[in-house]
Structures are given as structure tokens and as C-alpha cells.
């Protein structure tokens, strides 16, 4: 099939303005203090739910609007233009919280958990990463055994988003549920409601960036949940998680686009206002050319991101979408890191001060090259898509 051409519709652009107005009204005035205090604003997250952001791609039967993936990317970009942490709260809330249940859950599981998640009144996380396991599923140490109609879960997870807030309702975790005939681990996914005895969201991390997002290590000690909390087919847990990653990579790319756009907007404004030797610094080629590079980054990043989203919405073959997702994730995340460095340079000494938002974007950007698959993983996947036998 021919690749669809990226072009945002009038409805998408109208929706962009709605989300932008919300972000500038509800988030922008407070974000510096929230970042300083490492405060997770649950009430604002629920307002994002009231706006329908968590239900953009969910079916109407669960309270969603049944919209397209592109709309979700637009929302993430616009939130990320004001604050990256709240952008990733939406990205993870949908991609890692809602989507696994929506895609692999039974009808009963969907009816039980999705309405509150889709409404944005509650959040869910996904526990994959462990100290020695993430992409290496065989190294997973968290275990779950059946005992009298219940799964008994023991283990630990780390770097789990939306996992310990006051509105978190559950975390879906990967766990060893047996051993296959070839000796490899059987990995399944199990949903564990918040408040289940033995399930503890440990103290939140003191992170370099994303100070506003909710991120915790998790521990499970003799945690018991009913057998019907198994999500999807037993032994298919890791494969189920991988199936969600391509969407997540494009969503992270949208977050990176927001970061680049913020750097561009802030730099243009500052370069027009800041004067040296009687002229705005934007009149100097050394500054103007750097800002021109930001514009190029923003345009290219937006194009590869929404081209990938268009493939998703058009139902393109998975191999084509996977390649586009990795390209978008790789380019935009690395461009975002470069964009924050350029913006900080434009601001000079002021860019090193926390009172200026470019400092926050500088701190926030690095994780974009790591989460949802590192840059190295994306290069490996792109090379494989070209038919190269890379290991």
C-alpha cells in the first residue's frame, strides 16, 4: 500500500489550539514551582481527563472518543511544549496504562478498569524494567505462581511511571510464571491493584528531569491477586509488551517535538528582546543561524513523527510502521537533546539559571533518548528493517 502523506486536518489543528490553551492556562503558570517541589498535580491530571485526553483513542463504550492516534500525538506534543513531565504522564497513562488492557484484556477486565482510566480520574502503570531486566526478558526475576486460584507475586520493578500517585489504580507487571520446554522463562502479565497487601510503591526517585512525573521503584512480597488478573494469554506477556512499544515510540517522538518547539519559541522571543551593543542578539548571525537550525529540527521532527502516526492510523503493515516508529523516535529524541543545548547557548548565562524554562527543558530532554528504547536499540531495529543481520 502507498504510504499516507502526513497532513494534519483542520480538526487536528483546532484540537491543537484547545490543548494549547489548556496547557498555557492550567500548567504554564505553575510548572516552575511544581518542578522545584517535585510535585505531581493530580488535580490537573484529572482536568486533562475532563478534557478527554486520556480517552482520545479508546472506544466510546468505555467512555472514550474513539479518535485517531494522531490526535493523541498532538495532545502529547502540546503538553510537552509547556512541560515534558505532564506530557509523559499522558503518554504513559494511555500507552502503558490503558492500551495493554484495551488490547489484551477480557471484556470483564475492560469493563472493570477502563472507565476510570479512560476518564483520567485514575492512572495505571506498566512494570517491566528490573535492576537486571528490561529488554532482556529472560533476566526477569519477578515471579508469579498459582496457589488456590490466586497468583502469588514476588519481586521488584524500577523506573515505573504513574505507579505510586494518589490516583494510581493498578500496575500491570511482567513476571515469570513458569519455564518452557527449552528452558527459557515463561513471561506473563498480571494486573495488581494499588493497595493490594504486599505491593509497595517505594519512595519516588530524585530524578535529573521530569520532576513533576510520578516514578517509583516497586516491590512485591507475597502479593495475592485473583487468577483472572492474568492479562492476555499466559506466556505471552513480553510479546504483548513489545506490541505496545511501537506506539509508545511515536508518542515519545511527539513529546520530543514539543520540546524542540518550546526551545524554538523561547529562543526566538529571547533573541528579539535581549540586546547587546545596542542591537537584539537575533540580529547577529551567530545567534540567528542557531535558531534557524532549531526551526529545521522542529519541521523535520514533526514530519517524521506525524508520518509515523499516519501509518498507524491507516493500518499500515506492522513492519513498515515499526521502521517509521524507530526512525521518528531516534531522530526526534536526539534532535531534542541538541535543541535544548542550542537554546541554552542562546540564553547564555541565563540559560543556566533554573528561573528560565530552557534549563528545565535541558534537564528533561536526555531521558527521551533512553525511554521506550534507547537510541542504540532504535539503530539496531532500523538496521534490521534494512535486512542487515545485526545482533
For the annotated catalytic residues, the residue numbers are 372
Cβ proximity of 350 and 356 under 8 Å = yes
Which single residue is written with the C-alpha cell 526475576? 141
- Our CA dihedral for 60, 257, 80, 165, rounded to 10 degrees, sits at 70
Alpha helices in the chain (DSSP H): 10-22, 31-37, 42-50, 69-82, 84-92, 99-104, 107-118, 237-273, 285-313, 318-347, 357-365, 375-385
Report the 3 state secondary structure along 276-334. Answer: ECCEEHHHCHHHHHHHHHHHHHHHHHHHHHHHHHHHHHCCCCHHHHHHHHHHHHHHHHH
SS3 126: strand
Rounded-to-integer distance, Cα 196 and Cα 147, Å: 17
Q: Check: CB of residue 119 under 8 Å from CB of residue 69.
A: no
Contact 90, 118 (CB under 8 A): no
Residue from 199, 362, 173, 333 nearest 253 by CA: 333
Q: Nearest Cα to 53, choosing from 152, 125, 123, 119? A: 119
List all residues 6 or more positions away from 17 whose beta carbon is below 8 Å from its beta carbon: none
Q: What is the distance between the alpha carbons of residues 1 and 318, in angstroms, rounded to a whole number? A: 12
Give the three cell numbers for residue 330. 531516534
Amino acid at each position: 500500500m502507498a504510504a499516507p502523506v502526513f497532513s494534519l486536518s483542520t480538526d487536528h489543528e483546532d484540537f491543537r489550539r484547545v490543548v494549547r490553551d489548556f496547557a498555557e492556562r492550567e500548567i504554564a503558570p505553575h510548572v516552575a514551582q511544581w518542578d522545584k517541589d517535585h510535585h505531581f498535580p493530580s488535580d490537573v491530571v484529572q482536568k486533562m481527563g475532563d478534557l478527554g485526553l486520556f480517552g482520545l483513542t479508546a472506544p466510546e463504550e468505555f467512555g472514550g472518543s474513539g479518535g485517531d492516534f494522531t490526535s493523541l500525538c498532538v495532545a502529547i506534543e502540546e503538553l510537552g511544549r509547556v512541560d515534558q513531565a505532564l506530557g509523559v504522564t499522558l503518554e504513559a497513562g494511555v500507552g502503558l496504562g490503558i492500551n495493554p488492557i484495551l488490547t489484551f484484556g477480557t471484556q470483564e477486565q475492560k469493563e472493570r478498569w477502563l472507565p476510570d482510566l479512560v476518564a483520567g480520574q485514575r492512572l495505571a502503570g506498566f512494570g517491566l524494567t528490573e535492576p537486571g531486566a528490561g529488554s532482556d526478558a529472560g533476566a526477569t526475576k519477578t515471579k508469579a505462581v498459582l496457589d488456590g486460584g490466586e497468583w502469588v507475586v514476588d519481586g521488584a520493578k524500577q523506573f515505573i511511571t504513574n505507579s505510586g500517585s494518589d490516583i494510581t489504580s493498578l500496575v500491570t507487571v511482567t513476571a515469570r510464571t513458569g519455564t518452557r520446554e527449552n528452558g527459557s522463562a515463561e513471561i506473563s502479565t498480571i494486573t495488581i491493584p494499588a493497595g493490594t497487601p504486599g505491593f509497595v510503591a517505594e519512595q519516588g526517585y530524585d530524578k535529573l528531569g521530569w520532576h513533576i512525573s510520578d516514578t517509583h521503584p516497586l516491590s512485591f512480597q507475597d502479593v495475592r491477586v485473583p487468577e483472572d488478573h492474568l492479562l492476555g494469554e499466559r506466556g505471552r506477556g513480553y510479546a504483548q509488551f513489545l506490541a505496545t512499544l511501537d506506539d509508545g515510540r511515536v508518542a515519545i517522538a511527539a513529546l520530543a517535538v514539543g520540546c524542540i518547539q518550546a526551545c524554538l519559541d523561547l529562543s526566538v522571543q529571547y533573541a528579539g528582546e535581549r540586546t547587546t551593543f545596542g542591537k537584539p542578539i537575533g540580529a547577529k548571525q551567530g545567534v540567528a543561524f542557531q535558531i534557524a537550525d532549531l526551526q529545521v529540527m522542529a519541521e523535520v521532527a514533526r514530519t517524521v513523527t506525524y508520518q509515523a502516526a499516519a501509518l498507524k492510523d491507516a493500518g499500515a503493515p506492522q513492519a513498515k510502521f515499526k521502521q517509521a516508529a524507530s526512525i521518528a523516535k531516534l531522530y526526534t529524541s536526539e534532535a531534542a537533546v541538541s535543541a535544548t543545548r542550542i537554546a541554552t547557548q542562546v540564553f547564555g548565562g541565563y540559560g543556566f539559571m533554573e528561573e528560565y524554562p530552557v534549563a528545565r527543558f535541558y534537564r528533561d530532554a536526555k531521558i527521551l533518548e533512553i525511554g521506550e528504547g534507547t537510541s542504540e536499540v532504535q539503530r539496531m531495529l532500523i538496521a534490521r528493517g534494512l535486512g542487515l543481520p545485526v545482533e
